[in-house]
A and B are shown apart, each in its own frame.
Chain A
Amino acid sequence: MDTFVQQLINGLTIGAIYALIALGYTMVYGILRLINFAHGDIYMVGAFVGYFLAFQLGFATGPSLVGLGVVLIGSMIAAALVGMAIERFAYRPIRKYARMTTLITAIGVSLLIENLFVARLGAAPRAFPQLLREQSYTLFGNAAISKSQILIFAVSVALMILLQWVIFKTKVGTAMRAVSFNLNSAKLMGINTDFIISFTFALGSALAAAGGVLTAQYNPQIDPLMGIITGLKAFVAAVLGGIGNVPGAVLGGLLIGIAETFVVGYGQNVGVPTTFRDAVAFAILILVLLFRPTGLLGSTVREKV
């Protein structure tokens, strides 16, 4: 029972990170029908901006909550700018072209960011400075929760509530929903769709950057290619929950996080090696899509001739 609770806590921690990244995928997809493959790299950029901010501003010397807050918000702003720049210069000119073209462009942007970082900073992992005095609290029995895990839960829940508020209670959020419903109609209603799309990229990128900094606190190793597999799994989480659906992305992220830690924790008992950790997300996705082709919370769209 203790290990079960422990696995659950660890799974939810990873799942919360996946959920934060998945939100960006799902929002962009909801509006542009574009799989933004560069989103995983934004997560990496966020972690690296946090790394450099911590060193430049002198927070790397010791744990400080102020430092953590500054680093977190700073990297979110920087990532939002990067996301908007990508949208402006790579995606906007090709928005009206075929799906395959936009997809290849997204892959191109992803390769560009990864290779630029490898060329500038080298591929070797770097140690992210610990801004939080690490401490474990014992829950029921032997299950423990660390301070960085609490931080991940607190920040990601706060950001998700904030996002929900932005989408459903603000004018900009209403416009976002209108654009995702139908871009051309929204334009006819006088909505500045270019601004809304740009805003969506900024929002998603900021969430991914928060995920990057939080992960770096939990597991303090960052490298320029860290976004590839995490980004892919977050995308799988978004599809699993029903792409374009905001609560679905959170649900998908948490599910995949839990499934992954359970494979590592219990897999050997039933003959599944721990290396299947990276495969389980896809296995769940395939199973779900075969029975619910639009994901867990996705709505079915009837095809019209």
Chain B
Amino acid sequence: MPTLVKRLLAALVIFLLLVVINQYMSKEGLFGFGVPSYYARLIVLAGINIILAVSLNLITGFTGQFSIGHAGFMAVGAYSSAYLTVYYAQAWERSLGGIVGGSLAHALIFLLAILVGAIVAALAGLIVGIPSLRLRGDYLAIVTLGFAEIIRIVILNIDSVGGATGFTVPGYANFLWVYAFAIITIVIVYNIVHSDAGRALVSIREDELAAEAMGINTTRYKVLAFVISSALAGMAGVLAGHYLSFLSTNDFQFIRSFEIIIMIVLGGMGSLTGAILGAIIITFLPELLRTLGPRLESLLSSIFGADNIPASVHTFLLQLANYRLVIFAALLILIMLTRPQGILGTREFGLSWLKRARRRPEGDKPVGTGGVSIAEQEPPSAIDRAKEVKNQ
């Protein structure tokens, strides 16, 4: 079978699988089984976070350009598409629905909204990226943070998108939409990273001056990565807005950008699967901590008997939910102290991973991990040896 046919078939199978899971995630469920809406919601939010983390990983993990403005581009995508769906979508859907049928028209309009959100966010990325990417390191970080805050405050002052009161948006998105685009994002970023452009990006991360000396137009590639990353973040914004049915500029504060950075650092910068893992952990961990107290209590009472638990332990466990964000922050610090390269480092998790991990000899690290510079690995130089000889 030709490769193209194979790939199309694979895409079709994945799509059908998503359609089936989507049924399972909805209120009606499938054959009477459905995921409770609380968990279904968390799973969808995890999908949105996967798009955000994977897209930020392109610019921060693979290109090494430190951006804390991802929430800003997300906001641009969310609000521009919401403007479209709130003010124009219904009229268009009616006129289009007469030609191709209601549900298809609905899907087409939302597809258009996602496209618009991505394009507007890409434009914002271009406008922000061209001047900012001349800066490096912490300066770039603080400028992207500044742009994101400015974007947020500008949106806050536009009355037609709700301003400070928030903006109610039609709930077009669901599990299927979010995960279809999460997979598209992963495929896009995977293909970029494994292309010529991807090698250029990684070379910029490893050593920008050396990359430039090798004839790579570093500015062009950095802006390219930034724009693609922004477009994907905009897409995530569209999906988030149309899933939650409500937009508030408070949701796009810099703490949201931090959250996305935490996801990729936790999973391992420069690892696609790491970003996905980080996104899932950061979505679920605070929620798991919320129910930790009651669960521990029921566990303890099943071991020791409900009457034997001291009252102080009982109240402590009940109050544990209040401290879930404290525990979350403490865990974050602990992970950074014990595993600073993130859970996966720059490695990828996959079926071949276990095999390769076993085969790899001791000390042989994949390219670009650990930051071991050449100077540290070099054997004693000729001069040192000469000195030693002289001393003897």
Contacts and interface: CB of A to CB of B under 8 A. Distances in A.
B333 A275 contact: no
Contacts of B254: 232
B138 A108 contact: no
B25 interface: no
B24 interface: no
Given A35-B141, A286-B146, 19 more contacts: A93-B337, A94-B340, A97-B340, A98-B341, A100-B261, A101-B336, A105-B336, A112-B329, A116-B326, A236-B142, A239-B138, A275-B156, A282-B145, A282-B150, A286-B131, A289-B135, A290-B131, A293-B139, A294-B139
A278 B329 contact: no
| Cβ-closest 5 pairs across A and B | A282-B146, A112-B329, A111-B329, A115-B325, A108-B332
Interface in A250-288: 273, 275-276, 278-279, 281-283, 285-286
B385 to A, nearest CB: 23
A35 B139 CA distance: 11
Interface in B217-275: 254-255, 258, 261-262, 265-266, 269
Interface of B: 60, 66, 131-132, 134-135, 137-139, 141-143, 145-147, 149-150, 153-154, 156-157, 209-210, 213, 254-255, 258, 261-262, 265-266, 269, 322-323, 325-326, 328-330, 332-333, 336-337, 340-341, 371
Contacts of A232: 145, 254
Interface of A: 29, 33, 35, 90, 93-94, 97-101, 103-105, 107-109, 111-112, 115-116, 118-119, 228, 232, 235-236, 239, 243, 273, 275-276, 278-279, 281-283, 285-286, 289-290, 293-294, 303, 305
A105 B371 CA distance: 19
A24 to B, nearest CB: 16
A97 to B, nearest CB: 4
A29 B138 CA distance: 10
Given A101-B265, A282-B146, A115 B153 contact: no
B326 A112 contact: yes
Nearest to B138: A35
A279 B71 CA distance: 16
Nearest to B149: A282
Contacts of B66: 99-100
A90 B135 contact: no
Looking at chain A's contact residues, is the secondary structure mostly helix, strand, loop, or mixed?
helix
Contact of B329 (A115, A285, A303): A115
Contact of A101 (B210, B323, B340): B340
B333 A279 contact: no
Contacts of A283: 146, 150
A276 to B, nearest CB: 6
Contacts, number: 121
Contacts of A305: 209-210, 213
A107 B262 contact: yes
Contacts of B341: 98, 101
A112 to B, nearest CB: 4
A111 B332 contact: yes
A241 to B, nearest CB: 13
A278 B265 contact: no
22 contacts: A29-B138, A35-B141, A98-B341, A99-B66, A100-B66, A100-B265, A104-B332, A107-B261, A108-B329, A108-B330, A112-B333, A116-B326, A235-B142, A275-B156, A279-B150, A279-B154, A282-B147, A285-B146, A290-B134, A293-B139, A303-B209, A305-B213
Given A119-B322, A278-B149, A104 B337 contact: no
A280 B371 CA distance: 38
A20 to B, nearest CB: 20
A118 B324 CA distance: 11
A99 B136 CA distance: 13
A256 to B, nearest CB: 12
Given A35-B138, A97-B340, A290-B131, A115 B326 contact: yes
A232 B255 CA distance: 11
B221 to A, nearest CB: 18
Contacts of A115: 323, 325-326, 328-329
Contacts of A93: 337
A116 B265 CA distance: 23
A111 B326 CA distance: 7
A279 B153 contact: yes
A174 B79 CA distance: 53
Contact of A276 (B60, B153, B336, B340): B153
A278 B153 contact: yes
A285 B143 contact: yes
Contacts of B143: 285-286, 289
B133 to A, nearest CB: 11
A112 B328 CA distance: 8
